[in-house]
Amino acid sequence: MVFLNRSTLALALLLLMRCKPDLGARESQIAGPRLLAMRATPAEGAQGDAIVYDALEVDPSGEVTTPMDYAYCTLRKSLDNPDTVSFDCLAASGTGIVEIGAGSSATGTVPSDACRNFGPDVPFAQPGQPQGRPVDPDSTGGYYQPLRLLFGNEIDIGQSRIACGVANAPLEAAAKFRAQYHMNTNPLVLDVTANGASLTQDASAPTALPAGSNVTLTTSWATCPASDVCGDGICGPDESVTACAQDCTTPVGCSGAERYLHYDTVGQQLTALRETMSVAWFVTGGSMASDGTGRLGTDLATTTDDVLTLPQAGPVHGWVVLRDDRGGVGWRRFEIVAQ
Amino acid sequence: MRRAATLIVVLALTPAIARADDELPGSQHIGTDQTQTRVIVPPKLVKFVEAPYPESAKASNKQATVTLQIAITESGNVALVQVVESAGQDFDDAAMIAAKQFVFDPATINGKPAAVKITYRYDFVIRQEVKKKTTAEFAGQVVDRVTKKPLAGVSVSLDTGQTATTDAEGKFSIPDVVPGTHTITLSGDKLTPIGTQETFEAAKKLEATYDVELKSSTPSDDDSDFEIVVTAPRIGKQVVSTEITAQEASRVPGTQGDVLKVVESMPGVARPAVGSGAIVVWGAAPEDTGVYVDGVRVPRLYHDGGYRSIIHPDLVKSVELVPGGFGAQYGRGLGGLIHVSLRPLDDEKVHGSLAADIIDAAAGLRGPLSDKVHFAVAVRKGYLREVADAVASPEVASLVPLPNFWDSQARIEYAFSKKEKLELGGLVSFDHTDQNLFNPDPSKNKTESKQLVFGRVWARYTKITDHNDAISVLPYYGHNDSSLDQHFGGTPTELATNADVFGFRASYRTQPAKWLTVSVGLDSEITQSIVHRSGSVTSPPREGDIYVFGQAPSAQTNSDVWSAIIGSFAPYVEADAALFSGALHIVPGIRVEPYLISVSKTLPQQGTNPNIGSFVEDTALDPRISARWEIAKRVTVKGAFGVYHQAPAADDLSAVFGNPSLTTSFARHSLAGVAYKLTKTTNIEVTGFYNVMEDLVARNTSATPALARALLQDGSGRAYGVQMMLRQEQIGPFFGWISYSISRSERQDAPGLAYRPFDYDQTHTLTVVGALDLGKGWEVGARFRFSTGFPRTPVITGYGDTTYGGQPVFGAKNSTRIPPFAQLDARVAKRFKIAKTEAEIYLDVQNVTNTINPEEIVYSPDFKTKGYITGLPILPVLGAKWSF
């Protein structure tokens, strides 16, 4: 027997829900100086490759160019550390901090032991100790060399994807992976539009939009082929130098959601996946409906929308940071004035 | 009393005898000559004939002495009898007749037989008949188990046909019981007959007390059905335990009638986080406390979220929590013991119930199929998930982690006799919970799906032999199927375990001496598991991991599939020595348990290389001892010590995520306490404990761990504290208790590291429970709980990772706490009679005062702002139950 009606049940259900507190400013709101992104170019490199690093720093007044100090951190994090890097990487200098350079950008060389410290290569055994445990890859099969980013008094962490091959795969799969895995290419923001119209990047001539209105912002990126066609100029996961020298002698990637070869450790087989694309939205005024939007790899769309509620007046500096899930980064600014 | 007379004979060789000799013809002089030494040996009476006591004299209690002169021939026969001093004709005649039948060894003079005369005094005395009694006496009292009031009119019968009925004080007496073991039956017009056995010894009195329990939850024709619970000394009586009957438990606020939820309110149990249902006893990890249903181990006591237990309340007789120091019958756990006793299958009529509230609906049915066959079935279905889907928007419904659960139990028992029974039983429990937090950025989607399905089937054979020995054999089989499937963006956490459990318990209990009970048995269990896991090594987090609510798991993932067989076979022996008339009980025991651990992989999969497994045998020797001493009528002191082992979890034996070489962990429990009986129904008990744990499995903290060593067995722990329980058993309309624990539980993750608070450590836990029957079917109750918050690792500040977002910088592990918790719950119930059935409507209101209780610490995405997730506001739960 149930002596309850629908409204009582709804009330009881609401009461069962946990209460989560308001924790202040949103991620998309730029209220002070922030480092929004660091980019490695190329987006993925092997040991010994030269990589150019640059960063996107902003504050409420717009883009800033605080000198950035780049350094590799060569310290592995402990197995019980839930963070992305060793706590000791959060130091201006010291053991394990290898300086790269300072400025708006810096060029570093992927350390020669990066795949042993942060990849699938078996670490050197400690005296009297058994074989060490390699680092596990992320869900895309990637490994990352951490960077210490020092700007002003702040320290943040960047990650630079390193090409280290595949671990524990059968020989045939490992060989195929070496031949057909192509390093990542940074995504490129093709355009940012408001209600379908492109937004300018020129702060001196911002796009005027109605104050207090809701506008749909759209970020777009390149369309990548859904399947590999030799001669299309893009070296895909089903292609290799031997199978398609035309595209793969000097591999060229796609600046959108790329397809890539992935070793599935559960099924112990190679599969081709498409990158998931994420867009982080940042504004200095007004508010975004969502801090981030994006598309799964199974979603072939090349745009993503968010809604900006404009302030009652004044300029709005905005940025979108486009990321693929293999560590590639691209960004673009937009300038709006609410009036 | 019958009177009897016995003759006492006094044989005297006196000078008077010599003098009398002259008067007897043919006699020789006997005596001493001054010139010739004569050696005279008097005659010796070898055949005495008792003279019949004159009836006339016996009736008047008259006693007398007749002095006779007896002439004895050389051959020892009586030649002549004469009365020297008369005591009356009757006495004289009787004495002479008897004396003429006497036979003597003849007297000798210088070694030669000689005829002599002697004077013989024949005393007639009346004395009490001293006859060794050849039967026993049986006496005792029958009382109401709950109220402790004596019960009159209860028939106490022996299998000899002797019967007595209790008087107004509940007392009875049966004389002249033939020695031996007899079946005792307690019955009456309104009682369900129940039998027990007692052993009687000749010329001794056996006193017994029998408790009678009212089954108020199951109305019979006249609403006065009783269940008889016989109090019998059982070996392995735990030194520190709390047992709550189903009747009491169902009335505790916060349980919503679910009997087993009362465990959360017992002393020594930490208050679980809302919706967790985890049971933390004396600072032990939840998985270290074993849950048994009539001897069959089950994986959990509660469904997901802790809203309901896995056993229908109608099937439960009582639940007992033993926080530590338990006997040798149980093992495979470093923590406590929760034992659910199922209701005996002895109903004379069919009973059943239907119940429903906002959480679930349940039905139960039990009764006889014949005189010898009884059954019980029950089923329960939770519908919080369906309610959410029906009344809330899809987004909200998918956001709330509400379980979809059901459970069912079935039992059937065949009674060969009152002393020999066979039960077949089974239970199944199902839980499935989905939670989806979709984000416009798919890389931040959070989804979780978890499921646990398990079942147990068993056959239980019990017999009480003619010598009052108890035999129990319990084979059982179980299957566990659990899965966890989480995705945090593209990072998976998948863990699926499929396990078959084969168990066997057998015991034989005997009483070789009145003061000694001995139990021997075998407790074995084998679990064969196949485990699939993928995701981060640190997800799901384990005890001791640095973890902050809401933080994404490490993006570094791996996968593994492995199988493990973990088994142990534990013969045990335990004795209960009842000394000083039972005032002192010493219970030593020992359990020898070889653990067998087999794993399919000792190293991670390397390409297509064949895997190499391992097999480890690890024998545990677990001595246990406990003692209870009633040092005064109201005061009992207690103490216990024991060693306990526990095999590693199959989930921890992965070459990728764990360590295939793990073996057993162990703990030493030491406890001491005192119990004081304030009144017949009021007790206070204080217990101190100190438990040490070694070889605990902990995360490898190295930055360069060895292969297949993600977990190590270097951890240790300690838990110590004091718990107090002031309990008022049912007295009139009221029962309740106050329990308070102050404790500290710490872990050391590796040698050399500092001890840190255990994840579930709660310094203070206070529970106050009371229920009052207002009469006319109305009942009210309240429960107040206060507890210290769980430890958490503080986040000092945060930093940015340009790829993965904000990251926390942690302080010392578990060096801060969630703020304390305080909550008042209340319950109002009204019972109705509907014809011959009963209905109950109850309102169980949790958090009556709408107190805001922080349940978890949460941080902003940059980890620079802290807040709290708060618990449930005021939550009324309305329910109803109909019983027949």
Average pLDDT score over chain A: 89
Which amino acid would we find at residue B545? Answer: D
What number is the average pLDDT over the span B840-853? 91
Contact B391, A17 (CB under 8 A): no
**CB of B465 within 8 Å of any CB in chain A?**
no
Angstrom distance (rounded) from CA B362 to CA B381: 6
Q: Do A2 and B546 touch (CB under 8 A)?
A: no
Torsion of CA B634, B637, B642, B646, to 10 degrees: 50
Instruction: Give the length of chain B.
Output: 884
pLDDT number for residue B446: 87
Give the chain B residue nearest A128 (alpha carbons): B706
- Please say if the pLDDT value at position B244 is more than 80: yes
Residue partners of B379: CB distance under 8 A and separation at least 6? B312, B362, B363, B364, B406, B407, B408, B409
Q: Which residues of B256-270 are buried (b: 16+ CB within 10 A; e: fewer)?
A: bbbbbbbbbbbbbbb
Nearest to B660 by CA among B721, B697, B614: B614
Backbone dihedral angles phi then psi of residue B142, each to the nearest 5 degrees: -115, 125
Chain A interface includes B843 (CB < 8 A):
no
Nearest chain B residue to A145, by CA: B803
CB A82 within 8 A of CB B859: no
Helix-strand-coil split of chain B, %, nearest 5: 5, 55, 35
Using the Cβ of A298 and the Cβ atoms of chain B, whether some distance falls under 8 Å is answered with no
Q: What pLDDT was estimated at residue B39?
A: 76
CB-based contact (8 Å) between A153 and chain B?
no
Q: What's the pLDDT score for residue B36?
A: 52
Chain A residue with minimal CA distance to B540? A82
pLDDT in tens, chain A (339 residues): 333 333 334 444 444 444 556 777 789 999 999 999 999 999 999 999 999 999 999 999 988 887 899 999 999 999 888 889 999 999 999 999 999 999 989 999 999 999 999 999 988 776 777 778 999 999 999 999 999 999 988 999 999 999 999 988 888 999 999 999 999 999 999 999 999 999 999 999 999 999 999 999 999 999 999 898 998 889 999 998 898 998 888 888 899 999 999 998 888 889 999 999 999 999 999 999 999 999 999 999 999 999 999 999 999 999 999 999 999 999 999 999 999
Instruction: Give the residues across from B717 on adjacent strands.
Output: B693, B747
HSE at residue A317, side-chain half, CA atoms within 13 A, is 15
**Residue B5: band (very low, low, confident or very high) from pLDDT cuts 50, 70, 90:** very low
What does B620-650 look like in DSSP terms, one character per residue?
EEEEEEEEEEE-SSSEEEEEEEEEEEEPPPG
Q: List pLDDT tens digits, range B316-375.
A: 999 999 999 999 999 999 999 999 999 999 888 999 999 999 889 999 999 999 989 999
Q: What's the burial of A267, exposed, middle or buried (CB within 10 Å: 0-12/13-18/19+)?
A: exposed
Tens-digit pLDDT profile for residues B444-469: 888 889 999 999 999 999 998 888 88
Q: Does A128 touch chain B (CB under 8 A)?
A: no
Q: How confident is the model at residue B15 (pLDDT cuts 50, 70, 90)?
A: very low
Is the predicted pLDDT of residue B183 greater than 80, yes or no? no
CA distance B278 to chain A (A): 18
B244: closest CA of chain A, how far (Å): 27
Who's near B14: CB < 8 A, 6+ residues apart?
Answer: B119
In A, minimum Cα distance to B274 occurs at A18
Q: With CB atoms and an 8 Å threshold, state whether A80 touches B538.
A: yes
Nearest CA-CA distance, residue A173 and chain B, Å: 9
Span B93-101, average pLDDT:
89
Output A246-252 pairs: Cβ under 8 A, ≥24 positions apart.
A248/A182, A251/A182, A251/A183, A252/A185
High-pLDDT (> 90) share of chain B, %: 49
Of the candidates B387, B703, B803, the beta carbon closest to that of A78 is on B703
Mean residue pLDDT of chain B comes to 85
Residues across chain A: 339
pLDDT at B52 over 80: yes
Beta-bridged to residue B341, according to DSSP, are: B318
Hey, what are A288's tokens?
A: 């975004």
**Cβ–Cβ of A1/B356 closer than 8 Å?**
yes
Sort out which chain A residues have CB atoms less than 8 A from B553's CB and list them.
82
State mean pLDDT over B202-216: 70
User: What pairs with residue B747 in β-bridges?
Assistant: B717, B756
* CB of A5 less than 8 A from some CB of B: no
* Probe site for chain A from B704, B747, B814 (most A CB atoms < 10 A): B704
Residue of B nearest to A135 (CA): B556
Mutate: best of A1, A145, A219, A326, partner B, most B CBs <10 A:
A1
Q: What is the pLDDT of residue B133?
A: 73
Of A14, A131, A169, the CB nearest to B707: A131
Is residue B444 classed as helix, strand or coil in its secondary structure? helix
Q: What does the alpha-carbon distance between residue B674 and residue B634 come to, in Å, rounded to a whole number?
A: 10
Residue pair B780/B773 in contact by the 8 Å Cβ criterion: no
Angstrom distances, CA of residue B564 to CA of A120, B100, B540, B660: 27, 95, 20, 9
Token pair in block for residue B616: 């480890």
The complex scores an ipTM of 0.90
The encoded tokens of residue B217 equal 């939850």
- pTM of the predicted structure, to 2 decimals: 0.79
Does residue B83 belong to the interface with chain A, where contact is any CB pair within 8 Å? no
**Is the pLDDT at B231 greater than 50, yes or no?**
no
Q: What whole-number distance in Å separates Cα of residue B95 and Cα of residue B319?
A: 76
